Amino acid sequence: MRLREIGAPDAARIAKREGQHKYDHGHVLVLGGPPAQGGAARLAARAALRVGAGLVTLACPPAALAENAARLDAVMLRALAGTEDLERLLADPRLSALCLGPGFGLTDRERDLVAVALDAGRPTVLDADALTLVSRERMLRQRLHPGCVLTPHAGEFRRLFPGTPEDEGSRAAAVREAAAETGAVILLKGAETLVAGPEGLAVHAATGARSAPWLATAGAGDVLAGLIAGLLGRGVREQEAAEAGAWLHVEAARGVGPGLIAEDLPEALPAVFRALGL
């Protein structure tokens, strides 16, 4: 099976131009979790903002507002007690993309919020806890749509698609079949990240000259989810956003190098963008 290699994104697609305002670059909504579990959602939100989203809002349980307010400035905050609050937020057509899952939670509340978010039909990144909920709940799986980008690691992928062969040689075929089954874009994380969707199957190999072993750190996947959500919010189509996010993620990590922690990744993006000529 021939795999297309993912290269640097088209700079023209992610550049900002004179005369534009923040709403020209989209508004991303990240759903956060309960108190003391908000770090993952904050990482995703900051990554979405750094990759160029015009606005980012983190919506979290009321009890978590103070914690998040103490850690965020440019990212806006909203209280999200339940599905009615989410429906009110989604009534704003300017919300252009959603990010669900990092540090989110696995209760009935979160299950119902994922259902409402999917029913909205907006471009949506599903990561971490959102993937676990989809793997458990048939009614969520049935709500997946072509605007969804799923970003599982190997274990999450096997839970989502039971019976997947575990040998490395079967990864590409399994990801392609998963994308065809769900209608969504699937990004299977790894040293060789696979992306499957309507534009075929592609691979980004963070090996050899592009090796980035320091990405094996807590929170790196949350940043990737935020990068993809930020690009979706800016109007980049789903598979292109997933592929560009994977490349930018690794390029930022290579710029930081040994000692990298997840918080470094969004801060490394300006240098990456300068190198791309933005």
Residue numbering of the annotated binding site for AMP: 189-193, 221
**d(C-alpha 2, C-alpha 7), whole Å:** 16
Going by the annotation, the residues of the binding site are: 40, 103, 153, 189-193, 221-222
Going by the annotation, the residues of the binding site for (6S)-NADPHX are: 40, 103, 153, 222
* Bridge partners for 98 per DSSP: 29, 124
Q: Which residue has the tokens 């979160």?
A: 110
Residues whose CB falls within 8 Å of the CB of residue 137, separated by 6 or more in sequence, listed in order = 111
Residues whose CB falls within 8 Å of the CB of residue 228, separated by 6 or more in sequence, listed in order = 125, 149, 151, 187, 241, 242, 245
* Bridge partners for 78 per DSSP: 59
Which helix (DSSP H) or strand (DSSP E) does residue 84 occupy? Answer: helix 83-90
Looking at residue 161, its amino acid is F
